[in-house]
Structure 1
Amino acid sequence: MSRALILVDVQNDFCEGGSLAVAGGADVAAKISAYVEDHHEEYSAIVATADWHDDPGAHFSAHPDFVDTWPTHCRIGSDGALFHPAAEKAFEHVEAIFRKGHHSAAYSGFEGFTVEADHRASLADWLRDRAIEQVDVVGIATDHCVRATALDSAEEGFETTVLLDLTAGVARETTDRAVAELRAAQIELRGTPVVAPA
């Protein structure tokens, strides 16, 4: 079966020093690079997703609740929206980038699009066009965009695995809840997510 690897939102704003930093994000970015260097030949395709916000409405808040509203992050053209330099080696193998959230929250990579030959392609269509049947998901954050991307991957009919050792979660409670939800959706889980102590 053809397998793809999805790198979810390995961006500066989600790593230490960013506006919405996840503890362990930079370390996970480096581990993803090492993993891709060692395993890229096992994948038929490697792609990445990125938050790419212009005016996402209530997703941004001056007084965020960190559940539905968040500090400003990953604005188009900002340094925070760039991929973290620790993941640079991984991106040498990335074939397409799916940007999401121009005017919405857009947690799932399956809400993103890439531009190919002057037309927009969704992640699901792009994978199907390449006869991908299995998907591995890594990135930031376990309890938000990784969770949403993996759930949508399974919903789209791909056999889905989350490599938890290559993910970082915002908080223990929400990460544990996300892992339980992924398991209930019959998504294969390998490893343990990085998450800051409560």
Structure 2
Amino acid sequence: MSTALFIVDVQNDFTEGGALGVTGGDAVAVAISRHLAARAGDYDLIVASRDWHDADNANGGHFAADPDFVDTWPAHCVAGTAGAEYDPGFVTDAVTHHVKKGQGEPAYSLFEGVTDDGVTVAHLLDDHGVLEVDVVGIATDYCVRASALDAIAHGRRVRIFTDLVAGVAPTSTEAALAELAHAGAVLDESGA
């Protein structure tokens, strides 16, 4: 039985000081790196996603001058900018596949991304016979939530490492974790 690790959006714009910085994001980046250093061999596939938005448009309404912080957001993770790069605390050496999502449209789930070669995450999971997925990253209440729910919808057993995620706000993070547990995800700690 193959296992994958999803590392969701550990990017400069989502960690402290970024356009949509999440408290605890830098610490999560470092903790994920520790987890990879100790446990990368446990995974047949390690997929890291990045928001990768176009600079020359509103990305399908995702960017707004007066964002509501629900469906619209300030500009963030614009392709080729420092904000779109991985947080420096996240060591990517063990990552087997990098996917970019949100290229010209809103995208929350890692499943909405593709590799530079155009391969979808669903195709990667099928090709590697992945039945179980561990999920970590930023933000618990948005992209981590969406990625984990899509993994469940694609028939995978999902475990969320609660010590390797950071959310936008405590209330929405708790609600997201409760929703994920109700959907069948296991909430656990990595031990990293």
Normalised by the shorter chain, which TM-score bucket? over 0.9
What is residue 154 of structure 1 aligned with on the other side? Answer: 152
Q: Displacement, 1:105?
A: 1.2
Equivalent residue letter for 2:182? A
Correspondence for 1:16: 16
CA distance in 1, matches of 2:122, 2:183: 18
Residue aligned with 1:69, SS: coil
Equivalent position of 2:94 in the other structure: 93
Matched residues in 2 for 1:47 and 1:18: separation? 22
Considering only aligned residues, what root-mean-square deviation do their CA atoms show, in Å? Answer: 1.2
Deviation of 1:191 (Å): 3.8
Q: Deviations along 1:15-63, whole A, 9 cap, x unmatched?
A: 0111110001001000000011011111111110110001313211122
Q: Which residue in the other structure is 1:46 paired with? A: 46
Quick one: distance in 2 between partners of 1:53 and 1:110? Answer: 16
Consecutive unaligned residues in structure 1, runs of 5 or more: 193-198
Give the CA deviation at 1:176. 1.3
1:164-183 → structure 2 map (5 Å cutoff): 164-183=162-181
Alignment-derived partner of residue 106 in structure 1:
107
- Alpha-carbon separation, structure 1, partners of 2:71 and 2:178: 20
Whichever residue aligns with residue 84 of structure 1, its letter is D
| Higher deviation after alignment, 94-103 or 183-192 | 183-192
Task: Output the CA distance in 2 between the equivalents of 1:87 and 1:74.
Answer: 16
- After superposition, the C-alpha distances for 1:55-105 in whole angstroms (9 at most, x for unaligned) are 3132111221211111110001110000011002xx100111111001111
Partner of residue 73 from structure 1, selected from 70, 76, 83: 76
Count of aligned positions: 187
Q: Quick one: distance in 1 between partners of 2:125 and 2:88?
A: 26
Distance 1:191 1:63 in 2: 37
Q: For 2:174, what is the secondary structure of its paired residue?
A: helix
TM-score (norm 1): 0.91
1:196 is matched with which residue?
none
1:132 CA displacement? 1.0
Q: Which runs of 4+ in 1 moved over 4 A?
A: none
User: TM-score, normalised to structure 2's length?
Assistant: 0.94
Query: Taking every aligned residue pair, what percent have the same amino acid on both sides?
Result: 49
Rounded to whole Å, the distance in 2 between the matches of 1:135 and 1:63 is 36
Counterpart Cα distance in 1 of 2:166 and 2:66:
24
**Unaligned runs of at least 5 residues, structure 2:** none
Report whether the alignment pairs 1:31 with 2:34. Answer: no
